[in-house]
Chains A and B, each alone.
Chain A
Amino acid sequence: MVSTVNRPSPLSAALQFPIEPTEVLRKRRPLRRLLLEQSNLVPTRIAILGGSTTSELRDMLELFLLAQGIGPAFYESGYNGYAEEVLFQNAGLWNFKPDIVFFHTTWRNVSQFPDLLESDSDVERRVHTECARFESLWEKVHADLGALVIQNNFDLPGVRSLGNLEASASYSRSSFLMRLNAAFARYARTHSRFLVSDILHLSAQVGLGVWYSASYWYRFHMAVSPVATVALAQNVAAIVRSAYGKSKKCLVLDLDNTLWGGVIGDDGVQNLVLGRDHPVGEAYGDFQRYVKDLKRRGIILAVCSKNDSEIAKQGFDHPDCILKLEDFSAFRANWNPKPENIRAIAAQLNIGLDSMVLVDDNPAERALVAQELPEVAVPDVGSDVSRFAEIIEHERFFEADKLVQDDLSRSAYYSVNAQRSASENAFSDYGEFLDSLAMRAEIGPFVPVYQERITQLINKTNQFNLTTRRYTSAEVEEISQDPGCVTLYGRLADRFGDNGLVSVMIGRVSGATVELELWVMSCRVLKREMELAMFDALVEECQARAIRNIVGVYIPSSKNGLVAGLYADLGFGHVAGIAGERETWLLDLPQAYTARSRHICRGTAAVEAPATA
């Protein structure tokens, strides 16, 4: 995926589907030069600890990260030094202070395999011992470095000495590696700062004959061939992108010949090609199932179609249509240019264009959107629906590092929000409308149950974000336990439903002063005065701690102009910095403070039954 900061050039298109690995390898130097010209790269420090040669992987990973707007600095372990550098606290690694530690190991780094005809219980003991060896490394990285760990699971050897027996014999290498993979997966499920890079799947996808090259292993000790390293780098880059909240949020779909075969305006709903009675219809049905799966895990769906709106909606009445109208949070079917509609969808959903992906079978429409809206990802899906899902997956647009409950409710939120917006029209006074929502906010210090969502919100919020500081889950946990920090989370619910956890504040206390180093709020609750409720809670916390001054910092970015005047509006005085650069604001808390929030009750944000009126 090319960064949406600049229009993709023919050179940088080498990193877009379909990727030709040999082209990327050959063009790495000019690509790197081009991508380093970008501004506003999110810095990150990545330690690659290898069980084999890692230089090619580092080069390729850098390209894919740069293309995603992430500017990496790297540390590489010595050859096969992945274990000893951690166990012996290599000074170079420790002083590098990585944000992310990537363990690039493969099946060749397994220290023991079962003997032939070994009992199942003995094999299980070996699994436990081998897994414990890796766990000791991860836990040392977590404890001493506080870094996110990305760990390859295990690929399978290209040669099977037991033939097909490898699949069933518990003592086979293949079975042992699969058990280790299951153990790694269990660890990932129970540890928040640990992500698996699924090279078992990746190696199958590229083919073991491509994944491993004896020639490159014996010449360079590359456990993964140069060509497959391109795919591995893209895979790891997608994981990093996800960890930094830069995965896409919204899938925008055309209708005719994208979600169903045929043109509904011409063919009518009864003649659409959809369903298992027709091979192409079955393919459209499977694509709709894939899209529905994306929606279930929190990807927002939108329609952008050149059609009469009412006729277009009829397509969802087809008996074999998996997707329903209510699956879509935005629906634009008209004869306006698609870039215009996509801008309108972004505005309606309050999301950035750079969080959107367009899938459209029409190459002319794809080209127009790519030209007019370079921030929108427009994969070349072609016109064969049987490949649409594969191509979307190949680009890893929607890579998720975690799923939290808020993700599953995201689509419902947008639907409910449409009801809120509709009810607003009944009021001439905005304050009365806010009162009518019967809003309840739950605001308090960070608690472990919300840590995942807090971390997600910090790393994914761009507009209402005063400093655009990002924190790993490990850092959030550390801050939550630091008595020198003031932390607040805020949940908001109203009579229509629960908006979930929508705001986070972090302040550092020094004497009688607290400096706000982070304040974010989800765009879901803009114009609800939730920021006032959060500020009131902050003042209460300051009063409880005998803090008399609040320092607010505003660091402008390309996306947070929305909050440029927030501290002025809250009554802060400007003390340093000029517009367009880092600004420092100060508020001396008065003895008697009058709460600013007038329309939100504080307590628990328990969800009530939705309003029926």
Chain B
Amino acid sequence: MTREEFCIEMDEILGLPAGTIRGDEKLEDLENWDSTALVSFLVLAESNGGRSVSLADVASCFTVADLLRLGQVEEPISS
């Protein structure tokens, strides 16, 4: 899954218009970042990464970028 694709998925999980999440937001600033969104993110991350994500892992995330790394999302190669 690419970064763009992940951000679009996060838009849907959070119930936001497509293109809202850019990847650098703080989780505490996201209105719908709640237990429901957390479970949906875990399902997304685990189906993408093929491994279980622990609560401790998620607890150490403070930004969407942290979630991207946890979800093993491909980052574009910088030239």
* In the A-B complex, the 4 residue pairs with the closest CB atoms: A29-B15, A215-B52, A25-B40, A219-B55
Taking a contact as CB atoms under 8 Å apart, the answer to whether B43 and A227 are in contact is yes
CB distance from A23 to the nearest CB of B (A): 9
Query: Interface residues of B, CB < 8 Å — how many?
Result: 17
User: CB-CB < 8 A to B55: which residues of A?
Assistant: 219
Interface flag for B30 (CB, 8 Å): no
The one of B14, B32, B43 in contact with A25, judged by C-beta atoms closer than 8 angstroms, is B43
Q: In the complex, what distance in Å separates the CA atom of A28 from the CA atom of B15?
A: 8
CB contacts under 8 Å to B, within A222-270, are 226-227
Taking a contact as CB atoms under 8 Å apart, the answer to whether B12 and A26 are in contact is yes
Taking a contact as CB atoms under 8 Å apart, the answer to whether B13 and A26 are in contact is yes
Q: In the complex, what distance in Å separates the CA atom of A216 from the CA atom of B38?
A: 12
Q: In the complex, what distance in Å separates the CA atom of A26 from the CA atom of B44?
A: 8
Residues 30-54 of B, flagged 1 when their CB comes within 8 A of A and 0 if not, give 0010011001101110010000101
The one of A22, A29, A215, A220 in contact with B47, judged by C-beta atoms closer than 8 angstroms, is A22
Interface flag for A30 (CB, 8 Å): yes
Residue of B nearest to A21 (CB): B43
Taking a contact as CB atoms under 8 Å apart, the answer to whether A26 and B40 are in contact is yes
Q: Taking A26-B13, A27-B12, A215-B52 as contacts, is the C-beta distance between A55 and B40 under 8 angstroms? A: no
CB contacts under 8 Å to B, within A175-228, are 215-216, 219-220, 226-227
Taking a contact as CB atoms under 8 Å apart, the answer to whether A30 and B12 are in contact is yes
CB distance from B40 to the nearest CB of A (A): 5
A-B contact pairs, 10 of them (CB 8 A): A25-B43, A27-B12, A28-B40, A29-B14, A30-B12, A33-B15, A56-B39, A59-B36, A220-B39, A226-B43
User: CB-CB < 8 A to A219: which residues of B?
Assistant: 54-55
Taking a contact as CB atoms under 8 Å apart, the answer to whether B15 and A26 are in contact is no
Q: How large is the interface on A (under 10, 10 to 19, 20 to 34, 35 or more residues)?
A: 10 to 19
Interface flag for B9 (CB, 8 Å): yes
CB contacts under 8 Å to B, within A41-81, are 55-56, 59
User: CB-CB < 8 A to B43: which residues of A?
Assistant: 22, 25-26, 226-227
User: CB-CB < 8 A to A26: which residues of B?
Assistant: 9, 12-13, 40, 43-44
User: CB-CB < 8 A to A30: which residues of B?
Assistant: 12, 15
User: CB-CB < 8 A to A33: which residues of B?
Assistant: 15
User: CB-CB < 8 A to B40: which residues of A?
Assistant: 25-26, 28, 226
Q: In the complex, what distance in Å separates the CA atom of A28 from the CA atom of B9?
A: 11
Q: Taking A22-B44, A215-B52, A219-B55 as contacts, is the C-beta distance between A29 and B39 under 8 angstroms? A: no
The one of B9, B36, B42, B54 in contact with A55, judged by C-beta atoms closer than 8 angstroms, is B36
Q: In the complex, what distance in Å separates the CA atom of A28 from the CA atom of B36?
A: 10
The one of B12, B32, B39 in contact with A226, judged by C-beta atoms closer than 8 angstroms, is B39
CB distance from B21 to the nearest CB of A (A): 13
> What 8 new A-B contacts, CB under 8 Å, besides A22-B43, A33-B15?
A26-B9, A26-B12, A26-B43, A28-B40, A29-B13, A30-B15, A56-B36, A59-B36
User: CB-CB < 8 A to B44: which residues of A?
Assistant: 22, 26
The residue in B9, B43, B52 that gathers the most chain A C-beta atoms within 10 A of its C-beta is B43
Residue of A nearest to B39 (CB): A226
CB distance from B41 to the nearest CB of A (A): 9
Residue of A nearest to B48 (CB): A22
Taking a contact as CB atoms under 8 Å apart, the answer to whether A25 and B15 are in contact is no
Q: In the complex, what distance in Å separates the CA atom of A534 from the CA atom of B42?
A: 60
CB distance from A497 to the nearest CB of B (A): 54
Taking a contact as CB atoms under 8 Å apart, the answer to whether A25 and B9 are in contact is no
User: CB-CB < 8 A to B14: which residues of A?
Assistant: 29
User: CB-CB < 8 A to A55: which residues of B?
Assistant: 35-36
User: CB-CB < 8 A to A220: which residues of B?
Assistant: 35, 39
Q: In the complex, what distance in Å separates the CA atom of A27 from the CA atom of B37?
A: 10
Residue of B nearest to A58 (CB): B36
User: CB-CB < 8 A to B32: which residues of A?
Assistant: 29
